[in-house]
Structure 1
Amino acid sequence: MDSHILQISGLHKTFSTPQGQVKALHNINLNVSEGEFVTIIGPSGCGKSTLLKIIAGLDNSYEGRIVLNGQPIEGPSIEKGFIFQEPRLFPWLTVQKNIAGNFSLKDPAVRLRVEELIELVRLQGFEQAYPRELSGGMAQRVAIARALLRGPKVLLLDEPFGALDAFTRSHMQEVLLDIWQKDRTTMLLVTHDLDEAVFLGERVAVMNARPGQIQSLQHIQLPHPRKKASTAFEQYRRAVLNEFEKVEDSRAAGLTGSHDEMKII
């Protein structure tokens, strides 16, 4: 992987509030290779979700430059898939039709691709089920399949498993990893979960408190599947955790945010 499909340089984001200007992101620089899986972790309020929304083209009021597949990002497009914290499915549509969206299942190519995605996200047998009949993890798999249908160049995931119980979350991490390994779609995933970041990411981008900056990029040179109980995994986990401790040290010196902002889950 030596070609950068996503390039972010000198990104700054400021919000206007009744109390004045609030800096959300400061000098974000990040290159992502095609087919890479990057996880982003940082304290609450550091701008992780804001960064994803800017990459998705949902927020254009920023300074800096973002290029996807050789073209500046100017707004939403089918090249960028976005997975929210909740599935946002249409309750009146079946799994099959939710994945198809505004594409017709009467089109043989669309129907074939939907069937392939249903198999990819492990939902065989639930094609005709409605969202109310699905678990939280199953519903999120439908959302992932729907985003992949359009063949995005990059899939952006904003804490997609945050609302799930620990067992389901662990299972969904394995499902997502399987999807990435088979489909090789470039993925950027925001999380508060340190283990999740190390388990999934080829690189972990560690952000500090507001204004959010990428403090470090940790390369996770472990083959998949990774064992969270292994010594090697714990070493990488500690390396990422050490970056948070540096942020804590800066906070204690009065250089960063409050103690509450530094909590990680």
Structure 2
Amino acid sequence: MGVHITSLTKAFGKQKQTVVLEDINLQVGKGEFITIIGPSGCGKSTLLKLAAGLDGEYDGSIEMNGEAIAGPGVKQGFIFQEHRLFPWLTVENNIAADLSLRNPKVRREVDELIELVRLQGFEQAYPRELSGGMSQRVAIARALLRKPEVLLLDEPFGALDAFTRTHLQEALLEIWQKQRTTMILVTHDIDESIYLADRVVIMSTKPGRISSIIPIGLPHPRKRGSRPFQELRQKVLGEFEKVEELQLIDGSGI
């Protein structure tokens, strides 16, 4: 079970002349953590949106636990690059969103998630009173409240400073280890991709294809300065550089 993407091709334009993704085949096991890296324009974010059901016009198939994804639903949680919180709602109400905190079950689960993402004491704060990292924690908690079978994350830490980014990587790992939600995260950060993932998917562009998939195989917690981590970093970087070289050869740029 998990997410199965088979022969996926996505094109834009009236005549579908601009092919963004071509012949994508990817199987993500239930409870697996996958990261996707690749040059700008390779279709990483488009792939996530298709998996989230936000766009249904494509060739091929996307299945979750054996069922075709027909559109947005509670089975797919999506975290955008920006948090997209409601500015007029407090932290706890942003997490609950369309659910009522008067419901004891919702109230209990919201409180548990606030503790899980380490936002105790900020339940009544508004988005304007939060840092970028705290806002992204609220967005993650909101997605997890719906108990998605897969959590799709589109560079959620890209705009954060290095310290906050590292802290949120640790928080996300803690959530994953506790809940074992299947996670697919898009990133431009090679170290982040290795630190978090069971497997790193490397994409090429023009059109977007899967160039290679590298299993990580390191136990958590991982030490970025360790020899095994650095060896994997060189391997991923080498594969990524091959993609860039191919782009330069065919004149497509990066």
Question: 1:15: which partner in 2?
Answer: 12
- 1:141 lines up with 2:137 in the alignment: yes
Which is worse superposed, 90-99 or 240-249? 240-249
Question: 1:51: which partner in 2?
Answer: 47
Normalised to the residue count of structure 1, the TM-score between the two structures is 0.93
| 1:61-210 correspondence runs (5 A) | 61-210=57-206
Measure the CA separation in 2 of the matches of 1:222 and 1:208. 25
Alpha-carbon contact 1:136-1:164 (below 8 Å) kept: yes
- 1:257 lines up with 2:252 in the alignment: yes
Alpha-carbon contact 1:47-1:210 (below 8 Å) kept: no
Instruction: Among all aligned residue pairs of Structure 1 and Structure 2, give the percentage whose two residues are the same amino acid.
Output: 63
Once the 2 structures are TM-superposed, how far is the Cα of residue 252 of structure 1 from its aligned partner?
Answer: 3.9
Deviation string, structure 1 residues 184-221 (Cα, Å, up to 9, x no partner): 11000000011110110110000012211111111001
Measure the CA separation in 2 of the matches of 1:226 and 1:139. 26
Q: Tell me, what secondary structure is at the counterpart of 2:17?
A: strand
Q: Tell me, what secondary structure is at the counterpart of 1:77?
A: coil
Q: Which runs of 5+ in 1 are unaligned?
A: none
Q: Which stretches of structure 1, 4 residues or longer, exceed 4 Å deviation after superposition?
A: none
| 1:31-46 correspondence runs (5 A) | 31-46=27-42
Measure the CA separation in 2 of the matches of 1:243 and 1:44. 16
Alpha-carbon contact 2:39-2:244 (below 8 Å) kept: no
Q: Please tell me the root mean square deviation across aligned C-alpha atoms, in Å.
A: 1.3
Name the aligned partner's letter for residue 207 of structure 1.
M
Name the aligned partner's letter for residue 47 of structure 1.
G
Q: Tell me, what secondary structure is at the counterpart of 1:253?
A: helix
Once the 2 structures are TM-superposed, how far is the Cα of residue 25 of structure 1 from its aligned partner?
Answer: 0.3
Question: 1:228: which partner in 2?
Answer: 224
Question: 2:3: which partner in 1?
Answer: 6
Once the 2 structures are TM-superposed, how far is the Cα of residue 119 of structure 1 from its aligned partner?
Answer: 0.7
Normalised to the residue count of structure 2, the TM-score between the two structures is 0.97
Once the 2 structures are TM-superposed, how far is the Cα of residue 21 of structure 1 from its aligned partner?
Answer: 1.4
Q: Tell me, what secondary structure is at the counterpart of 1:57?
A: coil
Measure the CA separation in 1 of the matches of 2:29 and 2:244. 31
